[in-house]
């Protein structure tokens, strides 16, 4: 029976015999098998090769062998372990969606809505989704403490203009949002990053209670121009009749942008008919 060599003499990659610490060339290995009597019977005869060069000097350095040994000891996860980890990752994602992170500071954000986000209007479905997941809650009807211009622009879209003292006190609805995720969805709908609206502080009255909230105002780049375009005549409420004039985003022309529509609407109001 062939003698077993210590593991220290076997390379974990090529299974060749190792001299401490250098790996010998393949034909050297074959020679060593023959020398120590460990060449398997099924191995073919040694091929005819030119005489090998003299073996290199063996330098006693254990670092390479330790490195190889440590590498082979790495724990490679089994497929079943990978499946379990992937399942845990998905459970974490689903839990995050069902229980979104709270607002910074732990408090809820109060949002005053006055247009298509109100109950009975087209975009209220977004708030319904947030309420269903516990990320939002309806507080009640309320009115702005100060007067603000509320006007209707192109596509029947309402705009609150940040000109306190102009216009009328505006009626709307108050909601609390308990997650950053919910607020981000509202910001996306209102085009905050695209220069459509700005989310700004506003004081509202719910009965006799005064509350600090935020509302989506027309962007400062065109808000005042929009107010003048409408003859500086404001609304106290965006009602059902005006809501019927609202054009859904998917039904609007696609050859120009939201901002283009605003500027066109303003310019049409500024152009006087020729006499």
Catalytic residues: 190
Using CA of residue 263, residue 269, residue 270, residue 275, what is the dihedral sign?
Answer: positive
Q: Which two tokens stand for residue 53?
A: 């060069």
Q: How far apart are CA 262 and CA 242, in angstroms?
A: 18
DSSP state of 23: B
Whether the ω angle into residue 21 lies within 30 degrees of 0, i.e. cis, is yes
Q: Are 100 and 129 in contact (CB under 8 A)?
A: no
Q: How far apart are CA 198 and CA 26, in angstroms?
A: 73
Q: How far apart are CA 176 and CA 81, in angstroms?
A: 42
Q: How far apart are CA 162 and CA 198, in angstroms?
A: 9
**Cβ atoms < 10 Å from Cβ of 226:** 21
Q: Which two tokens stand for residue 33?
A: 């098998």
**Cβ atoms < 10 Å from Cβ of 30:** 19
């Amino acid at each position: 029976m062939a003698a077993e060599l210590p593991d220290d003499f076997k390379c974990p990659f090529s299974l060749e015999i190792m001299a401490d610490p250098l790996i010998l060339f393949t034909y050297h290995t074959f020679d060593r098998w023959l020398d120590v009597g460990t060449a398997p019977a099924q191995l073919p005869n040694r091929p005819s090769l030119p005489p090998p060069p003299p073996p290199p000097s063996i330098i006693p350095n254990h670092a390479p062998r330790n490195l190889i040994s440590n590498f082979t000891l790495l724990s490679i996860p089994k497929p079943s372990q990978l499946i379990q980890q992937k399942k845990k990752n998905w459970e974490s994602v689903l839990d995050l969606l069902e229980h979104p992170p709270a607002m910074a500071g732990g408090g809820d954000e109060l949002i005053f809505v006055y247009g298509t986000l109100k109950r009975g209007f087209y975009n209220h479905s977004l708030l319904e989704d947030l309420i269903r997941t516990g990320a939002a809650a309806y507080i009640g009807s309320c009115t702005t403490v100060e007067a603000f211009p509320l006007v209707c622009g192109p596509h029947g879209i309402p705009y609150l203009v940040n000109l306190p003292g102009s216009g009328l006190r505006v009626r709307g609805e108050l909601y609390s949002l308990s997650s950053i995720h919910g607020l981000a969805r509202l910001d996306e709908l209102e085009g905050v990053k695209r220069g459509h609206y700005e989310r700004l502080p506003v004081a509202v009255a719910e009965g006799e209670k005064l509350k600090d909230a935020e509302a989506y105002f027309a962007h400062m780049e065109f808000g005042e121009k929009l107010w003048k375009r409408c003859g500086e005549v404001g609304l106290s409420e965006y009602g059902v009749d005006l809501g019927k004039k609202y054009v859904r985003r998917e039904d609007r022309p696609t050859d120009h942008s939201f901002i283009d529509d605003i500027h066109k609407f303003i310019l049409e109001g500024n152009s006087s008919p020729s006499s």
